[in-house]
Each structure stands twice: as C-alpha cells, then as structure tokens.
Amino acid sequence: MSCNTADINSDIINECDLKCKLVTDYPSQGITCTGYRKRDAFALQLAIEGIENLTSELNFTPYIAYHIMIVKPSWHRYGGRTVAAEMIIVHKNRDNNGKTFVICIPIIQGNTSSDLDDIIHKAGMSPPQETTFDLNNFIPQQPYYSYEGGLKYGESCRGMTDEIIVFQKRHALRLLEDNLKIIPTGTTFKFATPDGDISFSKNKPLKSQNDASFPITCEPYDDSDMEPEIEKKKFRSPFTMSDKDFQEWSSNVAIQIIIGALVLYILVKFLFLITSLGTKQAGVSSMDGGSLVMRYS
C-alpha cells in the first residue's frame, strides 16, 4: 500500500467540524505516573495507574486509553520538518474490532522546567517517585487536525485505518534538553495517510462535564414552558400584583421616570389652573370697581 508521511501545515484547509468531534473524559482529579520504561528502544512509555479508566470520544465513538508514550523525533512532520519530540496517547475501542484512536501533541525544547519535565524527572529517579497530574492540561484547548492513517516504517505502511488527531506546532508542549536526552531515538517510524487527506477542525476539544451533546451557543432557544410566564409578566396589571411583584415593578427605572413625569405634569396643570382662577377673579373685581365709579361719577 502506498502512503504519504503526514505533514501538518497551514495549507490544509479541508474542514471536518462535523466529522472529527473530540471529547475527552480524563479525570480532573488527576492520574498517577509511577515510572517509565523504554519501549523497544523507540519510545518512552509512562507507567500510569488505572490507565484503563481514561477515556476519549471521537465522533460519538468511545475509546479507552491504552498507553501514553513520548517519541523522538516526532512521528509527524510540521511544515515539512520534524520537531524535537511528540506525545502520543493511544486509545482502543473494544466494540469496534480494536480500532485505534491516537492523540498526538508536538514537543519542542524549552528553557524552563514544565509539568512534563517534573513527571519525567521523578519517574526516572531510583526508586521512581510517583507524580499525580491532570492529563487534560496536556491537551491543547486549540483547533486541531484529523485524518485516517497509520504508521509507516521505511517504505512499508501498516494498517492505515487508525483515527488520528494532531495539534499544531505552535501549541506544542515543552521539555528541557536533559529530559529530551532520556527519550530513545533512531527509529524511522512516521505517521502516514494513504491518500494524503488531512482535515482541519476550527473547534476546540470538548470535555464531557461540559455536556458535549448540547453545547452552549448564542442561538435563540425556544422553551414552551417559559412562554406563558413571559406573557403573564408582560401583561400583568399592577393592581393585581403581589407586594413583591409590585416592589419589582415599581423599582424599574423607566417606570419611575414615567411616573415622575406624570406627577410633574399634573402638578403643573394644577398650578396653571389655580393661577388662571386667580387671574379671572382679579379681572372681575376690576370690572365691578370700574362700573361703580362710572355709576356715581
């Protein structure tokens, strides 16, 4: 089978938002690393207690974590070149003929110690020192790439039916040079795809506790149970309100302005009426006085 090495680059524009939905369900309270082993001299595999309790979901298909390993250099190319290392989280599906699902995160050399440095350092001590960490913190909350493929060894392609998620180089994890040296190197494994078809998801990974089946959006939401209450509040008369409702109604700023304007209008009209009556009475008195003068003049 012919296949091409998977290259993650900015030229990939095929979108897969509806076909590569990623949901992780790693325990937020953390998992425990008890050490590591160098697997067949091509990877550093972390020893994780209860790794079978770590699960992910891709396109509504559940997968159980199988192992977490770090390889050097990366098995993906990023813009045509490999990077220092790569974290690979391998999952299996028990109900789908053992289909494999892989999450890949690039690793570059860092200048300061990271959480991953702490894990590898303590796992390599003699005896190994346990480290508890939250695997969710190693999954970038960023857009990602997706494709169907497998491993290429030299010119030979194996499988090519695995589901693979990989993140961009700019969202890479970091390791100090001393810890990078611990990782075995020298293999020619590469991730590859038979048709070169890699897609991009502009969405971020979801977490199961965020209710991935019904994410929060800004779209209108019609709830028939709420409509009668809305109508009732909209047309309720203030004369039939309870004391609490009346206080809420009367505390409305717009209503206060309207009531204030109405009271002011009534007051002005009342003062104008009083002034008008006084002016009329004064006019009548003047006319009566004038007629008396004329009568006795």
Task: Provide the token pair at 184.
Answer: 């075995």
pLDDT in tens, 183-214: 998 678 899 998 778 999 999 998 875 443 43
CATH top-level class of 4-210:
alpha beta
Residue 19 has pLDDT above 60, yes or no: yes
User: Does residue 43 contact residue 70 with C-beta atoms inside 8 Å?
Assistant: yes
Strand-pair category, 156-167 with 100-109: parallel
Residues 6+ apart with CB under 8 A from 4: 192, 193, 194, 196
Residues 6+ apart with CB under 8 A from 202: 15, 17, 143
pLDDT at 275: 77
Task: Provide the token pair at 68.
Answer: 């977490």
Strand-pair category, 100-109 with 85-92: antiparallel
User: Does residue 109 contact residue 176 with C-beta atoms inside 8 Å?
Assistant: yes
The residue type of 252 is N
Query: Which pTM value belongs to this model?
Result: 0.69
pLDDT at 273: 77
- Among residues 181, 119, 188, the alpha carbon closest in space to that of 152 is found at 188
Per domain, the residue ranges of the chain are: 4-210, 243-295
Backbone angles phi, psi at 42, to 5 degrees: -130, 0
pLDDT in tens, 142-193: 999 999 999 988 777 877 889 999 999 999 999 999 999 999 986 788 999 9
Residue 279 has pLDDT above 70, yes or no: no
Q: Say whether the peptide bond before residue 215 is cis (omega within 30 degrees of 0).
A: no
Residue 218 has pLDDT above 50, yes or no: no
Compute the distance between CA of residue 244 and CA of residue 61 in angstroms, rounded to an integer: 51
pLDDT at 119: 96
User: Does residue 73 contact residue 55 with C-beta atoms inside 8 Å?
Assistant: no
Residues 6+ apart with CB under 8 A from 8: 76, 77, 78, 79, 145, 166, 168, 169, 198
